[in-house]
Structure formats: C-alpha cells, structure tokens
Structure 1
Amino acid sequence: MDKDLSCGEDVEDLSEFITDDIGYRNTQVFWDLVRCPIPTRACNKSVKTSIRAALGELGLYTCVGITAYGGSMNHSKDDLRNAGIFHEPQGELVADLILYARTWGKPRNLMVIPKPDQDSELHRVLKC
C-alpha cells in the first residue's frame, strides 16, 4: 500500500520520469546555506556523509557533488572543500540549478536543500 505523502497539497504525478536506472544517474546537490545553515557544531565530513546517506535511502547512489550557496559560515571554505562540499558565497542557486538541468543531455537527479518558502523564486523554479 502506497503512503500518501502529499500533505493534502496538489502534487503532480512524476512517475513517468522514474526508470530502472534512476538510482545510478548522477545526482547533484544544491544547498541554500542562508535559509538552511550548517549547524555550528557539525563536522563537515559528517554533513556530507549524512547527505549521501539520505540520498542512498532514496535509492540515489551516485552523488557527483554538493554545492552550498551563500551566507557567512561558522566553517571555513577550506574545511568545506576538504569535506567535499563546494561553497559559492555569491552564487545564484536558482540560476545554477536551471543551467545544470538544461546543460546536461543525460537524465540526472537534482537534490535541493532549501528552507521552504512558497513565495520564493526557487519554489517557482522547482515546480516547473
């Protein structure tokens, strides 16, 4: 029996995009550090491990990169890079997300880590 995870919202059926190879497509993570910051006491390597574990639980096994956007941080850029997280302090998450989705010919998976804001440009783009 399938669980209804829609929370009462009108949810588009995307099942036509789910194929047998979805777990082995490249997955890129886009992370909004302004609205969803790294906890002060968190170890950067454990953050990366947690993100990859969450992807694995979703059946997505090929994470090619994690890019964190914006904000001042309690962690140094070098610490993030050493943990395998690329930081774009002045980057445009929405623009990069669109560029990534349109540039690559092969089907890919995108994971976006935002704090939900129904009125944001990011929310509008993700619904497209």
Structure 2
Amino acid sequence: MGIIRIIFVEDEPDIRSIVEMAMGLDDNIYYKSFEDGPSALRFVSETQQCFDMALLNFKLPFMTEIELHRQLRLIPILRNIVTALVTAHVSEDITGYKDLGISGYILKPFDPILLAKRLRDIYKEGRAT
C-alpha cells in the first residue's frame, strides 16, 4: 500500500498534537489537520488537494461529523473518501454510522504508536466496500 493522504479534523489542540506525532512515525502517511469542518472544506475547495481518508472528531463545532463527511464527498476529488471517526464514546449510534458511509472509528484515548496501523486497517477495509 502506498502513501495514504489523510485530512484530520479535530477541535482539541492537544489531540491534534498527539496525532501529528503519531503520523510522523509512518513515512507513508501524509496528513493535514484542521480545527473545524468549515476550514477543512474551504482548504479543499480552494486547493483541490485530494485526500484518501478523513479522520473526524465525533463532536465537531459548527457542523456535525456526518454533515462534514457528506460535504467532503460532494467535492468531486473526494467522492470516494474513506471516513473514520475519533470518539471518546462508543454507542449504538456509532455502530449505525456504517450505513452512512463511515468505515470505522478510533476510540479515545488511543495509543499513538498504533494509530497509523489502525488507520491503515480502516482505510483498507473502507476501500474494499
């Protein structure tokens, strides 16, 4: 598997820092982070930069994670983006998100050393469906 380009949207600076460190452990992951959905959408719309995967915080300001997932998929270069959620709460709602096109989730707190592998697994599974 080649380089995976990940767009990460998380409003907590500490979590963004941990993910930055974790992504730095894998030379085959390129990622860009944003603190909210509108800034991520604006960036992609302006630059037309393509991403393979979206990692979205379960509770985002300004728009829901599902709304952001849908908006990303409306951008032609992202119509097949694989999406995973980062959450501190696993509930029936999360497991039902598969029907909405969400491929998996990362449970907080997560092990930064294993994060890249977990994301690769979710990506691989999401591409297979």
- The higher relative CO (CA closer than 8 Å, separation ≥ 6) is in 1
TM-score, normalization by structure 1: 0.41
Flag the structure with larger Rg.
1
